[in-house]
Chain A
Amino acid sequence: LATAESASPELATRRLPVSQILLWVFGTLILLAVGIWLLRHAIDSPDRFLEVTLIGVTNGSIYALVALGYTLVYGIIELINFAHGDNFMLGTFQTNSIVNDGSFQIPLYPTTLVLSIPLGAAAVATDSGIHRAYTIAMCLLFSMLFCMVINVTIERIGYKPLRNQPRLVPLITAIGFSFILQDIGLVWKGAGPQPLPNILPKGDIFTWREASYGWNDFIVIAVTIPLLIALTYLVRQTRSGKAMRATAQDMDASAMMGINVDRTISFTFALGGALAGAAGAIYALYVGTSKFDLGFRLGLFAFTAAVLGGIGNLTGAVLGGVILGLIQAYNEGFADARWTTTIIFGVLILILVFRPSGLLGEQVPEGQ
């Protein structure tokens, strides 16, 4: 658009540097101020600073998992999948029912299909470590499966027939699906917050003055990092990954080269769904509660993370997620927690306005 707007070339050359310089001055000043502010807190109370940072990284890795789903889908069909955050919410509900009721549930009105998992409520009651590990694994597995199926179904019903429509049309469809999933959550579990017992291991790994790092925090990272490695391997090294990258680059050309474009897109949605399910399971286990309207806000935060890192870029999504988690943690730890939403959306707007390609994304002329 930048090229389209400045019709005469001399105008473009005269204008662009000024805005660019202003942008840099503005950005540097903001970053400098934030840096000084953080440094002051780090010097004042290093233990508290460490604790807040660890919280930020832990929350950030959950954002990163959700953000990856946005970035994968956007990378391949340039659609902001609004339903993704609500899919994540259904993942937290699935984990909730596995831990609370010991069953895998499929919400189908007027009944909920309940499939018992051979772990039973006993696993929660007994304090055996192996049972807990088994339950956590089941939660992860079934939440991932559940969200995967939902994501692929949505793609098949909603997005696939609309591929040749103007961009607005699938975007609005995505908002529609977001509402439908939210309603499924509401009917399935009810309007209030849905708590579940803590089955993550207790105790601290290390403590330093006020700061402490528990096993439950560690589990979040311990689940996230292998998933990220597996995903990176899948996208970079396997044939399906290659097909995904090719489809993202040029759909026509990949179809001509014999890549099954439909299947590749479905595969991408499956991957995104699985990551949302994993994030949902971890979130439910770690935070201990979830709500039917959780997905909207958290999904937007995760989308901000994806944009921050550079949408379409996997490493960027993880980086963005962690940065966002840190921003939230520092704001809630040292400033006013009430303003977190405003700050995060402010970051989103600033990024989109000044650097739409994100931190790691490549500068494309269209993106501006």
Chain B
Amino acid sequence: VSNQVTPQAPPEERQRRSLPTTGWRASWRKFSRAHPRAKLIFPALAVLLAFTYPWWGLEGPLSAIFNDGLGIDSDTLFNISVYVMLALGLNVVVGYAGLLDLGYVAFFALGAYTLGWFGSGLFETRDIHFLDTSAARLPGIHLSFWVVVILAGVICAIAGIIIGWPTLRLRGDYLAIVTLGFGEIIPDVFRNGDDIHGFNLTNGVRGVTQMDRPGFGESLSSATGGVLPVRYDSLELRPWYYTILVMMLITIFVNLRLRDSKMGRAWIAVREDEIAASAMGVPLMRTKLWAYAIGAIFGGFAGAIYGSFINGIFPTSFSFQISVIVLVMVIVGGMGNIWGVIAGATLISWLNFTGLDKIGDWINSGIPGSSNDITIAKYKIGVFGALLVVMMLFRPEGLIPSARRKAEFAEGEGQATLYDATA
């Protein structure tokens, strides 16, 4: 209603007001308009920095800041990367299609357990091997890790469609609850799955250990002169990091291409106004299902490599908190904007894994006297909760929002508002 009444400045004038005409920003804009490919320099730089992090971050003079000071050691680095991937996957569901998914951890768990089924000694009575890179011929099903990763994606996509098909027609907050329900049910099934009519599907609370590690096998390794390792080592973490980095890059690429595709535009249309989108011929269910399934695929990929990296998966490690933390990453970064999501995921997962502990140490060492015994672990949930609340109150569109999303929030559009009374 307000759109018709409020006088709006013509677009050119608004543009002129908001953009500077002089200074380095203006000249950069002019330059980038003349050379459209120049903008690629920033992502390229970021990728370069990410790939060389083990040299400048973990070793050398800068390691005092990054490795020791900020606590980004190789373990944390890997975990951060996994969460960036999860956040990018959830971004498709929440950011692009506007479907609030509170049970994303289900796909993470499913991906990890796919590795448990097809890449560990869980089914020890079977003896199936396919391009397996283990040191010895172990009992159980051992497919090549790369096959398992793809399988995890496929299984998660199928699970996403099965879950989404009956539920995606629900309204926003009901959908959130249903996904939350699935996010609770799936780990519960894994927890109780050690005795399904006498069949041990998941090994229950004892979890699945001794997972297969990725590897390229003898022939590929020798063909590349040992650049590609035969089998990943639990001590040499660089191959792990590069693997997740490549997976992350694929995720980013797919995210970007999806955003600019016909499907991506359909998602945005559904997010902004379902009924209008439907009237314009966007098939609602199919569009939403695609978003859900694609989000699930990335969750599955991340789960598989995470399970392999930590070499043991337990039903307790897939709690609601993970769903929320990944959601926080997407929201804090800026829903729908890939660079925002990456930034948010990096920041939040750093805080989650080592950052808060480091901050606690700084506070403890900074305060003289006897009271320096703040154990930050106690306040972690509270800090995340407060972060969510503060973000929602002061910057609901996120740190680096996409321009479109920002406009939606400014107009208070998106889904139906709670109510209009401003009294």
A interface list, Cβ under 8 A from B: 1-2, 4-5, 7, 77-80, 157-158, 161-173, 175-184, 186-187, 251-252, 255, 261-262, 296, 300, 303, 307, 336, 338-339, 341-342, 345-346, 348-349, 352-353, 356, 366-368
Report the nearest A residue to B284, measured CB to CB: A5
Whole-angstrom CA separation of A339 from B396 in the bound complex: 38
Whole-angstrom CA separation of A176 from B385 in the bound complex: 4
Q: Tell me whether B407 is interfacial, beta carbon within 8 Å.
A: no
Whether B188 pairs with A341 at a CB distance below 8 angstroms is: yes
Q: Tell me whether B365 is interfacial, beta carbon within 8 Å.
A: no
Q: Identify 13 residue pairs between A and B in the complex whose beta-carbon atoms are under 8 Å apart, listed by A's number.
A: A5-B169, A163-B418, A165-B418, A166-B409, A167-B415, A168-B98, A168-B100, A173-B389, A177-B385, A182-B381, A186-B382, A348-B181, A353-B170
Whether B396 pairs with A169 at a CB distance below 8 angstroms is: yes
Whether A251 pairs with B419 at a CB distance below 8 angstroms is: yes
Whether B169 pairs with A175 at a CB distance below 8 angstroms is: no
Nearest 5 CB-CB pairings of A with B: A179-B385, A183-B382, A176-B388, A166-B414, A180-B385
Q: What's the minimum C-beta distance from A112 to chain B, rounded to whole angstroms? A: 14
Whether A179 pairs with B388 at a CB distance below 8 angstroms is: yes
Whether A7 pairs with B388 at a CB distance below 8 angstroms is: no
Q: What's the minimum C-beta distance from B30 to chain A, rounded to whole angstroms? A: 37
Whether B420 pairs with A251 at a CB distance below 8 angstroms is: yes
Report the nearest A residue to B420, measured CB to CB: A252
Q: What's the minimum C-beta distance from A257 to chain B, rounded to whole angstroms? A: 12
Q: Tell me whether B70 is interfacial, beta carbon within 8 Å.
A: no
B interface list, Cβ under 8 A from A: 98, 100, 102, 166-167, 169-174, 176-178, 180-182, 184-185, 188-189, 191-192, 274-275, 278-279, 284-285, 320, 324, 327, 331, 378-389, 392-393, 396, 408-409, 412-423
Whether B423 pairs with A176 at a CB distance below 8 angstroms is: no
Whether B177 pairs with A303 at a CB distance below 8 angstroms is: yes
Report the nearest B residue to A191, measured CB to CB: B378
Q: A175-B385, A176-B392 are in contact. List 14 more A-B contacts (CB 8 A).
A: A162-B392, A164-B412, A164-B419, A166-B408, A166-B417, A171-B100, A173-B389, A179-B324, A183-B383, A251-B420, A307-B177, A338-B191, A345-B181, A345-B184
- CB-CB under 8 A from A164, the residues of chain B are 412, 417-420, 422
Whole-angstrom CA separation of A169 from B409 in the bound complex: 10
Q: Which of B171, B178, B378 sits near A348, CB closer than 8 Å?
A: B178
Whether B385 pairs with A178 at a CB distance below 8 angstroms is: yes
Whole-angstrom CA separation of A253 from B107 in the bound complex: 45
Whether B178 pairs with A353 at a CB distance below 8 angstroms is: yes
- CB-CB under 8 A from A338, the residues of chain B are 191-192
- CB-CB under 8 A from B386, the residues of chain A are 176, 180
Q: What's the minimum C-beta distance from A167 to chain B, rounded to whole angstroms? A: 5
Whole-angstrom CA separation of A161 from B412 in the bound complex: 13
Whether B188 pairs with A342 at a CB distance below 8 angstroms is: yes
Whether B172 pairs with A168 at a CB distance below 8 angstroms is: yes
Whether B382 pairs with A171 at a CB distance below 8 angstroms is: no
- CB-CB under 8 A from B188, the residues of chain A are 339, 341-342, 345
Q: Which of B173, B177, B275 sits near A167, CB closer than 8 Å?
A: B173
Say whether chain A's binding surface is mostly helix, strand, loop, or mixed.
Answer: helix
Q: Which of A176, A252, A356 sits near B419, CB closer than 8 Å?
A: A252
With A158-B393, A164-B417, A179-B388 known as contacts, the answer to whether A187 contacts B378 (CB < 8 A) is: yes
Report the nearest B residue to A262, measured CB to CB: B423
With A5-B285, A77-B418, A80-B177 known as contacts, the answer to whether A183 contacts B167 (CB < 8 A) is: no
- CB-CB under 8 A from A182, the residues of chain B are 381-382, 385
Whole-angstrom CA separation of A173 from B173 in the bound complex: 13
- CB-CB under 8 A from B392, the residues of chain A are 158, 162, 165, 169-170, 172-173, 176
Q: What's the minimum C-beta distance from B277 to chain A, rounded to whole angstroms? A: 9
Whole-angstrom CA separation of A9 from B166 in the bound complex: 22
Whether B421 pairs with A1 at a CB distance below 8 angstroms is: no
Whether B393 pairs with A255 at a CB distance below 8 angstroms is: no
Whole-angstrom CA separation of A172 from B393 in the bound complex: 10
Whether A165 pairs with B100 at a CB distance below 8 angstroms is: no
- CB-CB under 8 A from B423, the residues of chain A are 255, 261-262
Report the nearest B residue to A183, measured CB to CB: B382
Whether A186 pairs with B177 at a CB distance below 8 angstroms is: no
Q: What's the minimum C-beta distance from A169 to chain B, rounded to whole angstroms? A: 5
- CB-CB under 8 A from B420, the residues of chain A are 164, 251-252
Whole-angstrom CA separation of A164 from B409 in the bound complex: 10
Whole-angstrom CA separation of A180 from B380 in the bound complex: 9
- CB-CB under 8 A from B415, the residues of chain A are 166-168
Report the nearest B residue to A171, measured CB to CB: B173
Q: What's the minimum C-beta distance from B308 to chain A, rounded to whole angstroms? A: 27
Whole-angstrom CA separation of A180 from B385 in the bound complex: 5
Whether A165 pairs with B412 at a CB distance below 8 angstroms is: yes
Q: What's the minimum C-beta distance from B292 to chain A, rounded to whole angstroms? A: 15
Q: What's the minimum C-beta distance from A251 to chain B, rounded to whole angstroms? A: 4
Q: Which of A4, A170, A179, A262 sits near B381, CB closer than 8 Å?
A: A179
Whether A352 pairs with B170 at a CB distance below 8 angstroms is: yes
Report the nearest A residue to B384, measured CB to CB: A179
- CB-CB under 8 A from B184, the residues of chain A are 300, 341, 345
Report the nearest B residue to A159, measured CB to CB: B418
- CB-CB under 8 A from A168, the residues of chain B are 98, 100, 172, 414-415
Whether A77 pairs with B419 at a CB distance below 8 angstroms is: yes
Whole-angstrom CA separation of A7 from B274 in the bound complex: 13
Whole-angstrom CA separation of A90 from B12 in the bound complex: 55
- CB-CB under 8 A from B167, the residues of chain A are 349, 352-353
Q: Which of A183, A307, A339, A341 sits near B379, CB closer than 8 Å?
A: A183
Whole-angstrom CA separation of A2 from B166 in the bound complex: 13
- CB-CB under 8 A from A178, the residues of chain B are 385
Q: What's the minimum C-beta distance from B207 to chain A, rounded to whole angstroms? A: 16
Q: What's the minimum C-beta distance from A83 to chain B, rounded to whole angstroms? A: 9
- CB-CB under 8 A from A184, the residues of chain B are 382
Report the nearest B residue to A79, measured CB to CB: B418
- CB-CB under 8 A from A300, the residues of chain B are 180, 184
Q: Which of A162, A169, A171 sits near B176, CB closer than 8 Å?
A: A171
Whole-angstrom CA separation of A273 from B381 in the bound complex: 22
